[in-house]
A and B are shown apart, each in its own frame.
Chain A
Amino acid sequence: MTEQDAGGHEESGRSDDAPPVVPTGAGRSAGGDGPRDRGSVLITNAVPYGEGDPVDVLTVNGVIAEIGPVGSVRASGEATDVLDAAGGVLLPGFVDLHTHLREPGREDAETVRSGATAAALGGYTAVFAMANTDPVADNALVTEHVWRAGRQVGLVDVHPVGAVTVGLEGAKLAELGTMAGSAAAVRVFSDDGHCVDDPLIMRRALEYSTALDAVIAQHAEEPRLTAGAQAHEGERAARLGLAGWPSSAEESIVARDCILAAHAGARLHVCHVSTEGTADVLRWGKPRHPSGPAAISAEVTPHHLLLTDERLTGYDPVNKVNPPLRTSSDAAALADALAEGVIDCVATDHAPHAVQDKDAEWAAARPGMLGLQTALSVVVRTMLRPGLLDWRGVARVMSERPAEIARLPDQGRPIEVGEPANLAIVDQDAEWTVRGAELASIASNTPYEGMRLPAKVRATVLRGRVTARDTATSPTEG
């Protein structure tokens, strides 16, 4: 990506006479890249969705130009790149609805560049950067800064999430329309880290968002029920003397918001579902929405699928996250709900933290964990290996559904001729040991340190350009 591209795009998005609440949508698609020739990539010996015989795939100018049996596809003239998939699974590039890139404000933990690098290595072609930066992304200035920084790095489409309320304070609506109409064309709004707990503000945000075709992503946490909360309210927290974060604090907000969204005819996205009860509430709430069940969507994080509050013994804050790690029965129920489609997608809640913010006593440590480079492996371990999802299902929860929820027209597309070449190549037989220091993020707060995980992203292609290539390790590693 060149600055010239970004500049050209900016012009189209920020004309002064553009009506603020009628977004141009310019920032939503590959169109922003302009017509420049992107060369071609020949992917050989790949198995789309892990189904059938391996094929060769040729992309030209950012679009899939040809798919054919291995050896049958010839690069026309100058193939800029050849990727030998070695029998790996070919998937649409992943879309993460929930990432913290920490820029601006905490560039010591993560920057757009380091986060985008991690995302590309994790198989992602689009990520949504949460609004809780410093300053908060509650205005077009900040959202455009993030958008532009992402374009300059060019490794992954970085879509800023706009704050729902000014300063994430839950009191006054942020200028959603202006952000939607900005170059960043914001379509996802969230106060993530804080709950929009005031029912009136939530109602208004939902109503207002309908004119923007936007979605309100709620961090569901009733603050009165979680004052001082440090861990999942249950046996473990009681024993450890950690103030409890009750499941009901999440479930009551999700129930309320399902009702509010149905009333407003608005789209609601529930961030990081963490309890069995929330899955039940969604099962109840989704069909009741007048626009159909798809209007209410939900995500689950990889860590809530794999980890439980049993890890809290010893008080290592690397396991501190919000919402907290729950019980094994919650984790099992979340996996079932994801398989069933009650939970639509997997989102990382990738939350880098500097060492001093983690290597502290439990209460003083910040919540959050890295996730971009481990998400696919955790999904393979918790969903694919137990047979809850096949590779089609993985494509759905990692790419297709999040792209639909966020209204990204060129992401999560089928692997077919004529479709945008946003792809991830996965070595499903690989096994690797997670080392925080080796991850691309500046911070290293991975809860999977030292853990052996299955499957690894070998390469990522963003609009016909290779953005990540796993050269350091061979497919036979492990």
Chain B
Amino acid sequence: MRHLLGTDGLDPAVATQVLDSAETMKQTLLGREVRKLPTLRGRTVITVFYENSTRTRVSFELAGKWMSADVVNVSAGGSSVGKGESLRDTALTLSAAGADCVVLRHPSSGSAHRLASWLDGTGTAVINAGDGMHEHPTQALLDAATLRERLGDIAGRRVAIVGDVLHSRVARSNVHLLAALGAEVVVVAPPTLLPAGIDSWPVTVSHSIDAELPAVDAVMMLRVQAERMHGAFFPSAREYSVGFGLTEARAALLAEHAVVLHPGPMMRGMEIAAPVADAPSSAIAEQVRNGVHVRMAILYHLLAAGAEEGQQ
């Protein structure tokens, strides 16, 4: 693995290795007073966020620091990034400054791919921390780690992904990864929030959450942005919540072992009821915790190796 740009096409064996490593990381750090490994001493990780995301940025920062990497955060606000410098120039600058790894969050789909192509030959690894509506592979990996922890195994499990699949990079990354790991995926959304050509995805499509919940081992609620109403994707927040929100009554349809996931940030009352988010079936807090370990594992796989002729 030279970069982590997406889960589409990611070798399931590599994904499993990363998940295994994440588990080891978690175990290694469990109950320690000093959460510090020397593994990435002298390595530099630069996070570049063109969109705000405290959750993801902090998770990467902790992952890097717990492995003794030097972590530098660049955000679009106070830098040349905000002054109209092109992404290409920013990338080349960071690489020239000695970044071993650039973690990129960017509103434009494919920006991580572009970054990787511009940095080709520099030895700088690229991690996609969310590109537009395309992918968010580290989120999918941490979701998979959480599911593995809760359910034991992913293969053969049935997972519902509910909500704004059309605009969701989390949904795309999860669909590819879960399918590659052998899960059955069902996406549940109003027709307006499903992408064209979803028939070709390794999923089944449903418009009824009630019909799907009893048979799933996990349900992943996607964030719904209220501003989507302006694009006439759905009539009102109320109607969305009534039709697709995970209410307490709906949560009762879930099997006892079923897990509730949400990538955050949550709109309590919109796509998920507050008591459901806080119930024991909810793994939302574990997702955040696992996020650090999974990102440590990813950094380990990308950076703690020599010049390997690698596939992406």
Contacts and interface: CB of A to CB of B under 8 A. Distances in A.
Interface in B204-238: 231
Contact of B106 (A235, A246, A356, A361): A361
Contacts of B109: 230, 240-242, 315, 362-363
A374 B114 CA distance: 27
B196 A241 contact: no
B86 A235 contact: no
Contacts, number: 75
A52 interface: no
Contacts of A316: 117
A233 B172 contact: no
A266 to B, nearest CB: 33
A240 B135 CA distance: 8
B8 interface: yes
B172 A361 contact: no
Interface string A233-263: 1111111111110100000000000000000
A359 B88 contact: yes
| Listed residue (A235, A241, A246) with the most chain B CB atoms within 10 angstroms of its CB | A241
A315 B196 contact: no
A212 to B, nearest CB: 40
A361 B197 contact: no
B133 interface: yes
B110 A315 contact: yes
B198 interface: yes
Given A233-B196, A238-B195, A362-B114, A243 B107 contact: no
B44 interface: no
Contacts of B200: 235
Contacts of B86: 356, 360, 364
B108 interface: yes
B8 to A, nearest CB: 7
Interface string B94-108: 000000000000111
Nearest to A233: B196
Contacts of A236: 197
Contacts of A237: 195-197
Contacts of A242: 109-110, 132-134
B110 A238 contact: no
A237 B109 CA distance: 10
Nearest to A237: B196
Contacts of A238: 166, 195-198, 201
Interface in A181-237: 227, 230, 233-237
Given A241-B132, A241-B134, A361 B196 contact: no
B74 interface: no
A239 to B, nearest CB: 7
Given A241-B132, A241-B134, A362 B111 contact: yes
A319 to B, nearest CB: 11
Contacts of B8: 239
A235 B113 contact: no
Nearest to A239: B8
B197 A234 contact: yes
Contact of A244 (B108, B172, B196, B201): B196
A364 to B, nearest CB: 6
A177 B10 CA distance: 60
A316 B169 CA distance: 20
A245 B110 CA distance: 17
Contact of B196 (A227, A235, A363): A235
A271 to B, nearest CB: 24
| Listed residue (B110, B201, B231) with the most chain A CB atoms within 10 angstroms of its CB | B110
B87 A364 contact: yes
A388 to B, nearest CB: 28
Contacts of A359: 88
A314 interface: yes
B133 A361 contact: no
Nearest to B104: A361
Interface string B102-131: 000011111101100100000000000001
A363 B197 contact: no
A372 B179 CA distance: 45
Contacts of A234: 196-197
Interface in B178-195: 195
B135 A241 contact: yes
A246 B114 CA distance: 25
Nearest to B115: A361
Contacts of B195: 237-238, 244
A201 B154 CA distance: 58
Interface of A: 227, 230, 233-244, 246, 314-316, 356, 359-364
Interface of B: 8, 86-88, 106-111, 113-114, 117, 131-135, 166, 169, 172, 195-198, 200-201, 231
29 contacts: A233-B196, A234-B197, A236-B197, A237-B195, A237-B196, A238-B166, A238-B198, A239-B172, A240-B110, A240-B134, A241-B133, A241-B169, A241-B172, A244-B195, A244-B196, A315-B111, A315-B113, A315-B114, A316-B117, A356-B86, A360-B86, A360-B88, A361-B106, A361-B114, A362-B109, A362-B110, A362-B111, A364-B86, A364-B108
